């Protein structure tokens, strides 16, 4: 009986650990040591200050495929709140882009990483009060020797108007 209880508790702990390890990602696959939330978020969280309250950070992992592809994240926003998003792209695949839209990809482009030098690892975007839904689109080029698995850290802050 004790052995069965031990096996159940051990299995539950293993399942919980696996679930928590995967919960900060949109897609698993990149096991790069530099894709650890703690390492990347420490840098991005400092860019939220002054004026914004830390709301969370997450790692989004990318695994390049044979063909170029896109990954989209939808962020609902609250009216009367300003948001600040900080992207740490130090482990982002080479040639990949970040685009933020108000609405879907056919809507107005609000932000593009193409407007920045590739060497700039920290990118900051602040919302306008009228935006209630953001679509963040990551464009990942086809896999090659240069384009390898990677990730991006997205930290979020907010302040009331």
Whether the predicted pLDDT of 56 surpasses 90: yes
Sheet holding 53-62, edge to edge: 53-62, 150-160, 81-88, 122-126
Is 115:43 a contact under the CB 8 Å cutoff?
Answer: no
**38: nearest Cα among 9, 66, 58, 11:** 58
Whether the predicted pLDDT of 64 surpasses 80: yes
3-class DSSP assignment, residue 102: strand
Question: Over the stretch 76-91, which tens digit does the pLDDT of each residue have?
Answer: 998 889 999 999 999 9
Strand ranges inside the chain, DSSP E: 53-62, 69-76, 81-88, 97-102, 108-112, 122-126, 133-140, 150-160
Rounded to an integer, the average pLDDT of 7-36 is 44
pTM above 0.85, yes or no: no
- C-alpha–C-alpha distance, residues 72 and 132, integer Å: 16
In DSSP terms, 133 is beta-bridged to 76
Question: Over the stretch 122-153, which tens digit does the pLDDT of each residue have?
Answer: 999 999 767 788 999 999 998 887 778 899 99
Sign of CA dihedral 47, 114, 128, 89: negative
Rounded to an integer, the average pLDDT of 48-56 is 93
What is the CATH topology of the domain spanning 25-160? Answer: Jelly Rolls (2.60.120)
């Amino acid at each position: 009986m004790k052995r069965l209880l031990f096996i159940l508790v051990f299995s539950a702990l293993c399942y919980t650990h696996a679930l928590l390890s995967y919960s900060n990602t949109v897609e698993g696959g990149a096991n790069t040591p530099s894709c650890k939330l703690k390492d990347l978020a420490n840098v991005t969280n400092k860019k939220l200050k002054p004026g914004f309250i830390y709301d969370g950070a997450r790692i989004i992992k990318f695994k390049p495929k044979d063909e170029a592809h896109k990954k989209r994240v939808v962020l609902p926003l609250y009216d009367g709140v300003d948001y600040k998003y900080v992207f740490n792209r130090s482990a982002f695949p080479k040639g990949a882009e970040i685009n933020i839209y108000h609405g879907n990809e056919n809507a107005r482009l609000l932000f593009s990483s193409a407007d920045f030098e590739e060497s700039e690892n920290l990118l900051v975007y602040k919302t306008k009060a009228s935006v209630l839904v953001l679509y963040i689109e990551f464009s990942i080029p086809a896999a090659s020797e240069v384009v390898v698995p990677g990730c991006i850290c997205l930290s979020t802050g907010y302040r009331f108007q």
